[in-house]
Amino acid sequence: MSVMTPTRLARYMKSRSNVIIMAGYLCDEMELDGKKLSDYAAEVALKLNAPVAATGNAVVALKAKGAKATKKVAVELVEMLRYADWRDPIISQRPEAVVFIGYPKGIATGLVVAARGVDTVVLGADDVSEATYSLGDASLKKYQQNLDRLLKVLAA
Amino acid sequence: MPGKSVRLGGTEVSVDSMVRDSRGVADIISDALEADFQEARFKNFNQRLFPFADAADIVEWDSYLTDRYAPLYLNFDATCSDCPLGPCNLKIAVGRCGLQAVAYQARLSLRRGCRGCLSQVTDSRETLNHAVKVFGPEAKVSWGNKHDRSDTNHISLMTGMWPVNLRDLQRVMSYVEEQLSRLFLGSYNGLDSIELERMSLHTGSILLAAMDLSELVKMSLFGFTNASNHELTEMINWPPANVMGGLGNVEAGKPVLTFMGDNFLPAWYAIKGLQEGGIAGKVEVCGIGSVAHDIIRFYDRCRVLSPMVTGQKIVRLGLSDVIVASTACINWDFLPDAKKAGTRVIWTSNERNLGLPDRTDDPVESIVDDLAGGAPGAWVRDVEKAATIAVKLIQVVKRVKPRPMSEEEAKKAARKCKASCDLCLHECPNGLLVGPALRKVTTDGLKAMSDVEDGCYFCGRCESVCPQKIPLLDLITATLGVKAPEDKLKMRAGRGPVPRVETTGWAFGSIWGNCPGIFHIMGCGDARHRGDLGWLAYQLVWRNAIVFVVGCGAGEVGRYFNEKKQQYVFEEFGAEGQARNMINCGGCSACCHVADQALKWPRSGAGISFYANYAETADNQHNLLAPSLIVWGALTDRMYAIVAAWVRAGMSVIIGPNSAFSWKRVMLRSKWRWEDWWTLSQFGGRKMYVEPAPFSMILPAETKEEAIALAEVSAIRAADIRDSRQIRLDTYIEFYEKFYGEFPDDWQLYVRSDWELPLRYKSRLLRLLRENYGWEVDRLQVKRARHPDGRLLTPGEFSKEYGAMAAPVTKLPRLVTRNKGYGKQEAKAQ
């Protein structure tokens, strides 16, 4: 829906009480100036004190960084949002917002389109117009700056 | 002929009572009844047959699938322009025709399935027409000596016919084309999303019938390999693993004649010409796409180069002197690349041109002279003539081969890349990290682009958005050139069908033994990592699974090389239908053999005849022993229809990696909603709550590790006996432990008794059942189990109230027995 600055996005995420993070395969495969994307994902999760549904192979690295991560399949979690009563044990009640990190634009778009009745936030290097909020198109260099800024505000 | 009846044992069965309208099909149905139906099933079940089935005829089964696994759309097109009343923005309001947004997604899903069928149906029609022209309509067709009337195939499943000659196949072809026309129309005027999705499943069945037809003609009249004409004892090493492929196996110094696309006929005539002329050994015959896998079924010296999706890179590389091409599963404009490489093109398809002059009626010599003299190509719509031209041309053509970009040129080009840009990253449909790799070329040279080349579709979007005009496609081609000498594969040619006598043989091992399941592996190439398909196949077959590969995916699997054993995967494992074997069925049209063998189980295990009997066959297959399919790589429209076919037949499909998320629709249901998971006892119709098995019919995976674990859990069925449940659970947990260092979060949902806990994990699992899930456990025994509704039950109570171990079950109320004496014990239990 709209591109948000990292500062506003961080404030928005902090204002939600029941957030779940979905972390995809790029967490393992993408490096930003020597720092793994999984490190960023874990830091976001820890700062928000949010559970992580780690998809692809991301769970190992996220757990190693101390995040409360469980191995999940991406579409499985999104499908659960079809029902009014939330049952997936990863989180006790239906989330208010789902934060996606570690997905290329094509996958992130597919997932946010299918996610119903929640705010969706994409922390990627692309503008995902189907999401409620995303960080917007950026080079990897700029993307790293966005994530650093986001973490700073989350920590404040 | 209305009023016809058939005697089955002591029962007189009226054909009119079996079908809606027997006119025109009475002979077909009475023939099927006499050949394959059993009296007992008539006495006990309400049997209804649907010869030449429409989509709506299979609605009772399709409804179960679409209700249980309601379609979920992963991409959404909001604007419909299907009619002159539009365009309508369906996000704002219902369309002028009453179309809702979700129904429009279902229309697009159906349309994609239809598109997927089209190229195969066109190819099957062309093959049939040509065969009739050459051999006459009375020419016999046969599945082979080992196939009898009880061998399931999609033609019989959908029409009720058992075709014996080309005239029969003409009737089948008319049915296929009629169905496809109706489905296409439905994709423009349908308004009900679920009805449209049911039609979408029908595209799959129609596709498989067209593939069956094509295979019957190829094996019966063109000498394609057919395992059904060989002894079972040969199958362990038949056909031999002797097909050498890949760019690295193309012999330097010989002229290269490459066939590309779907149509095998030009290759069949050309190879015959080369052999008759005594020059076959002097020419390297290569294949790209499905045709490569057809050719090796009659000429094992053909070099399988790549799937169609990857083919364009090879054309640009300039390996081939002459390319003979036809329509394929995907279309790309390869003529500019061929021209650049000096490769001469002979295009043979009737339905479209590439922009080449139509030379169909010109004399062969004049076409050869023109092409040899430098003309880039010719359109020749006569396959025999095209073959003759190719054979003559390959002996005289001379060309200046293109010089790929050098390391220095690559470094120079890469220096222009700006770290502040990365537009290429946003554009890549395969999610490849193009920019970072390109920037590494400046220091590491072309090898830095290796991963990008591996997963590149050659779509050119990265190049088109690059503000620095960096020739990315040339860089990728040069990288392929550097890697070419190491690009090698070794495989068996496809063996064609798998007769029932062979599928029955593995029943014991796959149900009571230590076989973790039956798996089908397909792929059109270009997953992010090229080695994924081979890895998937190896991991499964090595763990004792029965693995089937087919189409271009089989060639990709053939690249897997075990360094320790110094063997390719096809050399390492046998090719018999048994555990720890890997069977290659053939080219794309041979997908039908893979599906058909899976559907033989209801006939073998439960005596269910398949003739015009789709719902009962699929229901039984889905409940008892359904293989899982993994589709990996670029997902073409044809794959969309193939997946529909698998789903309709009750088999779960795992798709991936990246393009799976723009697949349009997936089908699954939350496994945590226990009350949604039930089945009916065939004895009395009791509703039984069961495990969520399988919890998905189409599910996307991001990585190969995720895919293989999902394929394993999808092999679990509610009616599993203890042994098969134990080995499937064991392998599922093993995959999770190995890849993720933890147990899956749903393993406990599949436990019905302590007997089926995998031995190596048993004490850990029992502890978790006690500590995390509230079960009562005493040492190695479950004392009371926790039902999903919260009750604690004794093992005896639990087995009655959860699961359907080894029970005859159905999803269809019609298939609950009508004989009150049948299954007395079950009735008592109620």
Residues A81-115 pLDDT 10s: 999 999 999 999 999 999 999 999 999 999 999 99
Interchain contact B89–A (C-beta under 8 A): no
Return d(Cα B80, Cα B105) in angstroms, integer. Answer: 10
Closest residue in chain B to residue A32, using alpha carbons only: B436
**E-strand stretches of B39-123:** 71-73, 79-80, 88-89
Q: Which of A55, A79, A140 lies at the smallest CB-CB distance from B425?
A: A140
| Yes or no, beta carbons of B702 and A24 under 8 Å apart | yes
| Yes or no, beta carbons of B75 and A57 under 8 Å apart | no
Is residue A43 a contact partner of residue B634, using CB atoms and an 8 Å limit? no
| Two structure tokens written together for B646 | 């698998």
CA distances from B381 to B134, B153, B378, B669 (A): 16, 32, 10, 49
Task: Give the minimum alpha-carbon distance from B673 to chain A in angstroms, rounded to a whole number.
Answer: 7
Interchain contact A116–B (C-beta under 8 A): no
DSSP B339: H
Task: Give the minimum alpha-carbon distance from B563 to chain A in angstroms, rounded to a whole number.
Answer: 25
Task: Give the minimum alpha-carbon distance from B733 to chain A in angstroms, rounded to a whole number.
Answer: 13
Name the residue type at position B593.
H
| Yes or no, beta carbons of B429 and A106 under 8 Å apart | yes
Phi, psi for B508 (deg, rounded to 5): -60, -50
Beta A97-101 vs A19-23: how paired, if at all?
parallel
Closest CA to B683 of B778, B820, B509, B787: B820
Interchain contact A101–B (C-beta under 8 A): no
Residue B1 is predicted with a pLDDT of 59
| Two structure tokens written together for B385 | 């003539």
**pTM beyond 0.95:** yes
Mutate to test the interface with A, among B702, B703, B749 (most CBs of A within 10 A): B702
Return d(Cα B287, Cα B551) in angstroms, integer. Answer: 12
Interchain contact A100–B (C-beta under 8 A): no
Return d(Cα B811, Cα B622) in angstroms, integer. Answer: 9
Q: Which of B418, B435, B673 lies at the smallest CB-CB distance from A87?
A: B673
Q: Residue B668: list chain A partners with CB under 8 A.
A: 75-76, 79
Share of chain A above pLDDT 70, in %: 99
Residue holding tokens 């109320």? B813
Q: Which of B661, B695, B705 lies at the smallest CB-CB distance from A106?
A: B661
Return d(Cα B160, Cα B57) in angstroms, integer. Answer: 13
Name the residue type at position B199.
M
Q: Which residues pair with A122 in a beta bridge?
A: A100, A134
| Yes or no, beta carbons of B710 and A73 under 8 Å apart | yes
| Two structure tokens written together for B36 | 């394959």
Task: Give the minimum alpha-carbon distance from A19 to chain B in angstroms, rounded to a whole number.
Answer: 20
Contacts (Cβ under 8 Å, ≥6 apart) of B417: B435, B438, B439, B442, B468, B470
Q: Which residues pair with A133 in a beta bridge?
A: A2, A121
Contacts (Cβ under 8 Å, ≥6 apart) of A87: A80, B670, B672, B673
| Yes or no, beta carbons of A113 and B73 under 8 Å apart | yes
Return d(Cα B82, Cα B99) in angstroms, integer. Answer: 10
Task: Supply angle C-alpha B644, B646, B651, rounded to 5.
Answer: 130
| Yes or no, beta carbons of A80 and B658 under 8 Å apart | no
| Yes or no, beta carbons of A57 and B703 under 8 Å apart | yes
Closest CA to B591 of B217, B110, B120: B120
Task: Give the minimum alpha-carbon distance from B670 to chain A in angstroms, rounded to a whole number.
Answer: 6
Return d(Cα B305, Cα B256) in angstroms, integer. Answer: 12
Task: Round the CA-based radius of gyration of chain A to a whole number and report it.
Answer: 14
Q: E strand or H helix at B396, and its extent?
A: helix B383-396
| Per-residue three-class SS string for chain A | CEECCHHHHHHHHHHCCCEEEEECCHHHHCEECCEEHHHHHHHHHHHHCCCEEECCCCHHHHHHCCCCEEECCHHHHHHHCCCCCCCCCCCCCCCCEEEEECCCHHHHHHHHHHCCCCEEEECCCCCCCCCCEECCCCCHHHHHHHHHHHHHHHHC
Interchain contact A83–B (C-beta under 8 A): yes
Residue B830 is predicted with a pLDDT of 42
DSSP B305: E
| Yes or no, beta carbons of A88 and B670 under 8 Å apart | yes
Give pLDDT < 50 ranges for chain B.
826-827, 829-830
Q: E strand or H helix at B410, and its extent?
A: helix B407-414
Interchain contact B419–A (C-beta under 8 A): yes
Helices (H), B190-307: 193-221, 265-276, 290-295
Closest residue in chain A to residue B423, using alpha carbons only: A139
| Yes or no, beta carbons of B710 and A138 under 8 Å apart | no
Interchain contact A110–B (C-beta under 8 A): yes
Task: Give the minimum alpha-carbon distance from A156 to chain B in angstroms, rounded to a whole number.
Answer: 28
Task: Give the minimum alpha-carbon distance from B635 to chain A in angstroms, rounded to a whole number.
Answer: 14
| Yes or no, beta carbons of A30 and B431 under 8 Å apart | no
Kindly provide the b/e burial profile for residues B189-220, where b requires at least 16 CB atoms within 10 angstroms of the residue's own CB: ebbebbbbbbbbbbbbbbbbbbbbbbbbbbbb
Interchain contact B467–A (C-beta under 8 A): no
Rama region for B285: left / alpha / beta (φ>0; ψ in -120 to 50; rest): beta
Closest CA to B143 of B71, B230, B270: B230
| Two structure tokens written together for B476 | 């990728």
Q: Which of B422, B431, B673 lies at the smallest CB-CB distance from A104?
A: B431
Interchain contact A142–B (C-beta under 8 A): yes
Terminal-to-terminal C-alpha distance of chain B = 45
Closest residue in chain A to residue B744, using alpha carbons only: A71
Task: Supply angle C-alpha B127, B128, B131, rounded to 5.
Answer: 85
Q: Which of B421, B699, B703 lies at the smallest CB-CB distance from A75?
A: B699
| Yes or no, beta carbons of A78 and B72 under 8 Å apart | yes
Task: Give the minimum alpha-carbon distance from B421 to chain A in angstroms, rounded to a whole number.
Answer: 5
Q: Residue A139: list chain B partners with CB under 8 A.
A: 418-422, 425, 435
**E-strand stretches of B407-449:** none
Task: Give the minimum alpha-carbon distance from A60 to chain B in angstroms, rounded to a whole number.
Answer: 6
DSSP B753: S
| Yes or no, beta carbons of A107 and B739 under 8 Å apart | no
Beta A52-54 vs A19-23: how paired, if at all?
parallel
Interchain contact B468–A (C-beta under 8 A): no
Q: Residue B659: list chain A partners with CB under 8 A.
A: 106
Residue holding tokens 């990265």? B462
| Yes or no, beta carbons of A107 and B75 under 8 Å apart | no
Interchain contact B745–A (C-beta under 8 A): yes
Domains defined along chain A, listed by start: 2-155 (3.40.50.1220)
Q: What is the pLDDT of residues B98-141, one digit of tens each?
A: 999 999 999 999 999 999 999 899 999 999 999 999 999 999 99
Task: Give the minimum alpha-carbon distance from B431 to chain A in angstroms, rounded to a whole number.
Answer: 6
| Yes or no, beta carbons of B745 and A90 under 8 Å apart | yes
| Two structure tokens written together for B381 | 């719509």
Return d(Cα B616, Cα B602) in angstroms, integer. Answer: 9
> Is the peptide bond between B657 and the residue preceding it cis, with omega within 30 degrees of 0?
yes
| Yes or no, beta carbons of A75 and B72 under 8 Å apart | yes
Interchain contact B658–A (C-beta under 8 A): yes
| Two structure tokens written together for B387 | 């073959």
Q: Residue A56: list chain B partners with CB under 8 A.
A: 702-703, 706
Q: Residue B673: list chain A partners with CB under 8 A.
A: 83, 87
Kindly provide the b/e burial profile for residues B497-506, where b requires at least 16 CB atoms within 10 angstroms of the residue's own CB: bbbbbbbbbb
Closest residue in chain B to residue A77, using alpha carbons only: B670
| Per-residue three-class SS string for B141-198 | CCCCCCCCCCCCCHHHHHHCCCCCEHHHHHHHHHHHHHHHHHHHHHHHHCCCHHHHHH
| Two structure tokens written together for B749 | 């949902």
Interchain contact A11–B (C-beta under 8 A): no
